[in-house]
Amino acid sequence: MLFSKLSNFLEELEKTSSRLEITEILAKLFTISSPDEIAKISYLSLGILAPNYKGIVFNAADQMIIRAIAKAYNTDINKVKSLYKQKGDLGLVSFELSKNKNTKLSVSDVYQKLLVTANENGEGSQERRVEKLSDLLKSLDNSSAKFVTRIPLGKLRLGFSEKTVMDALSQMEAGDKSGKKELEAAYNINPDIGLLAKLIKERGIKNLSKIVKPEIGVPVVPMLAQRLKSTEEMVKKMGEVSVEPKYDGLRIFIHFKKPDFVRIFTRNMNFIDESIFPELKNLGKYIKANIVILDTEAVGVNLDEEKILDFQATMQRRRKHEVEANAAKTPLQFQVFDILLCDGESQIDKPYIKRREILEKVIINSPLLKVDEHTITKDPKVVEELYRKYIKEGYEGVVVKKTTGLYVSGRTGWNWVKMKQETGAEGKLSDTVDCVVMGYTVGKGKRIGFGVGQFLVGIMDGDSIKTVTKVGTGLTDDQFRELKTRLEKLKVDEKPKEYQVSKILEPDFWVTPKLVVEIAADDITKSPNHTAGYALRFPRLVKFRDDKAVKDATTVKEVEKMYKLQKSS
């Protein structure tokens, strides 16, 4: 397929905001794609070159792209900057400057050239990137150049994610969304949308999740905990349960293969260089297996006082600078609570109690790795007592796990349920909501100096982000300043396509959906103004959640459940 044909589809996608129409357009595109092309087309339609965990990203700054455009079209760099200031989109600048009417390059040609450019590293790599990108732009028609310019900037602006791509792949194969459940199950095991698209094209959707198995070095979508209002309801829904302390740390998946292969992934499946955690260089001493994938919580520890540190202290360990000094200051302990792969055999379809037995045989407890303690019970009173005990000991609460439950990614079924410490006095919401910052409004009085008075946040509804509250309290002066610094880098001229916002709530400035924050509130109310249909009453910032991606934010369905639990309590 010529890239110009793909760009025609991208033009259609850019012009529509209807999720159904976007799905239909993508399904048509995938239908006419060959098995060799469909993976590349899936990536490019999302503005990426590979799944996030492979770490193939441009991280290109505006200035680099401006230079590439000027070079491609033999244009004075000041003219490019002037056009950019007018249009606010370097893709539109390329569209205007390009005089080429035809593109002879195929989708595979363009993809390969972008991949080679992204992989340029080392001394002089920026110059080589500019050269390669300018040569590519030169050979493209104006529409193709527009989209190719946006990809290195991470600003394709089509407003959909892997979820919509999965809908479209099901539509292509089954004629409707009936295959989405099978596709999502496979994606949860191997979150590579291009690979799955290719497999569907070659083999169909049926039994896809049985074909795809956990692999060392490939992250699995994490299992998440549900919410229930009482310990009685937990036992009623789950039967026999394992009660375990809930740590407020950094969710880490450890992939280990003897003698010394280590890969580390966050809860949002981003790769972390193992050098950030030098403690893990001796990992093999504490594992009695050749290959494992472990689900853990990394927590900072104070060795002198023998206590676990708070979340913010643990998060400091993700810094790439002064690693050794930070490791000495805040050593980590990895609380191991599940095992997904052991010596080449998948564990995800085994009941939790069996996985737990294997885990206890495989892990040698030490200051580095510890299998967290647990209590098996069918008594709601025991669950309540353990919750109070762990809160008193400084933990965040408990996680209650169904002993017969399988490892199911996401918040599906009643396999895991969390009980967190209440956020305030009686009557206040006993859980927090992870929200996406959508925009901000300049403050008044003292806050004029901060540049932020309030910020608008939303929650997920499929690929859409819907408003749930404005936040202007709960921040220290330093947090206001940090928030302004963060949001300034994310500011965009137009409302992102995935945002659904009532006119009366539109902020002074929009930001691209990148920043996730944890919000506490007194309660949840129904709202005619917020597009989520619900509002958080008296919201307060708890903390920035740099460990979570936008797709990990709380959903409308989850807030609806929280509202019902609140009403029935």
By annotation, the residues acting in catalysis are 246
d(CA 480, CA 472): 9
- Which whole-number Å values give the CA distances from 502 to 48, 120, 452, in the listed order? 30, 44, 20
d(CA 46, CA 371): 39
Contact 152, 118 (CB under 8 A): yes
E strands of 211-331, at which residues? 241-246, 250-257, 261-266, 271-272, 291-302, 307-308
Contact 252, 266 (CB under 8 A): yes
d(CA 53, CA 159): 21
Those residues with Cβ within 8 angstroms of residue 435's Cβ, 6 or more apart along the chain or in another chain: 457, 458, 459, 468, 469, 516, 517, 518, 519, 553, 554
Cβ-based burial of 2 (10 A; exposed 0-12, middle 13-18, buried ≥19) = middle
Tokens of 155: 């600003």
DSSP strand pairing (464-471 vs 499-500):
parallel
d(CA 403, CA 351): 7
Beta-bridge partner residues of 371: 336
Instruction: Quote the DSSP letter at residue 95.
Output: H
